[in-house]
């Protein structure tokens, strides 16, 4: 909410379109949008990156988590203007070309999911965790994922998959 609202005489709901440029998954992105638009909608609807999913719109469920400059963050309340010039990583950015990230492979191998809707955000948070802590304990994995809701109850498989990926990296 950094534009429009503060300018005297300007209607906060008047159309405002600006160019916002940032990097997504290592590629340059430039969109013409109302800069107050949450990053989530820009990713999904302007850039076609549907992997980042809407859960609550209020930053309480972790579903829409992306990394901004390596730090996991909810994208549903984050104005796109806040990521101008920064680097955003989404779930689509975890694989390298055709090669799945070990985390993604571990989730498949463990059958870690049912409906799977929560997995995008969880994978992003798990990737950020392993970046800073390559050999997390069970407790550390749980703590890192505590802001994520999984309603199907795949928790134990998900924790196991994250640890499997970490162990695979060590082997």
The distance of closest approach from Cβ of residue 99 to another protein in the complex, given in angstroms and rounded to an integer, is: 11
Long-range contacts of 54-58 (CB under 8 A, 24+ apart): 55/117, 55/118, 55/121, 55/149
Please report whether residue 38 would count as binding another protein according to CB under 8 A: yes
Using CB under 8 A, pick the residue from 20, 128, 154, 165 that binds another protein. Answer: 154
Count of residues in the chain: 171
Report the site for another protein in 60-79 (rule: CB under 8 A): 60-61, 63
**CB-based contacts of 76: which residues, under 8 Å, 6+ apart?**
38, 40, 54, 55, 56, 57, 58, 59, 64
Q: What does the per-residue mask of binding to another protein show for 107-136, with x meaning CB under 8 A?
A: xx--xxxxxxxxxx--x-------------
Please report whether residue 150 would count as binding another protein according to CB under 8 A: yes
Rounded to an integer, what distance in angstroms lies between the CA atom of residue 110 and that of residue 154? 10
Cβ-contact 146, 122 below 8 angstroms: no
Site of interaction with another protein (CB under 8 A): 13-15, 33-34, 36-38, 41, 44-45, 48-58, 60-61, 63, 90-92, 94-95, 100, 104, 107-108, 111-120, 123, 141-143, 145-146, 148-159
């Amino acid at each position: 909410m950094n534009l429009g609202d503060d300018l005297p005489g300007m209607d906060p709901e008047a159309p405002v379109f600006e160019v916002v440029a940032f990097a997504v998954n290592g590629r340059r992105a430039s969109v013409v949008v109302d800069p107050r638009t949450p990053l989530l909608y820009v990713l999904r609807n302007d850039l076609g990156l549907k992997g980042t999913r809407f859960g609550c719109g209020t930053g309480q469920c972790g579903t829409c988590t992306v990394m901004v400059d390596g730090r996991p963050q909810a994208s549903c309340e984050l104005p796109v203007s806040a990521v101008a010039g920064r680097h955003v990583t989404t779930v689509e950015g975890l694989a390298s070309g055709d090669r799945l990230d070990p985390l993604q492979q571990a989730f498949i191998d463990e059958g870690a999911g049912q409906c799977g809707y929560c997995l995008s955000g969880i994978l992003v948070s798990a990737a950020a965790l392993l970046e800073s802590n390559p050999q997390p304990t069970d407790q550390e994995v749980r703590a890192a994922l505590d802001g994520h809701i999984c309603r199907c109850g795949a928790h134990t498989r998900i924790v196991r998959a994250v640890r499997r990926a970490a162990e695979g990296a060590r082997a």
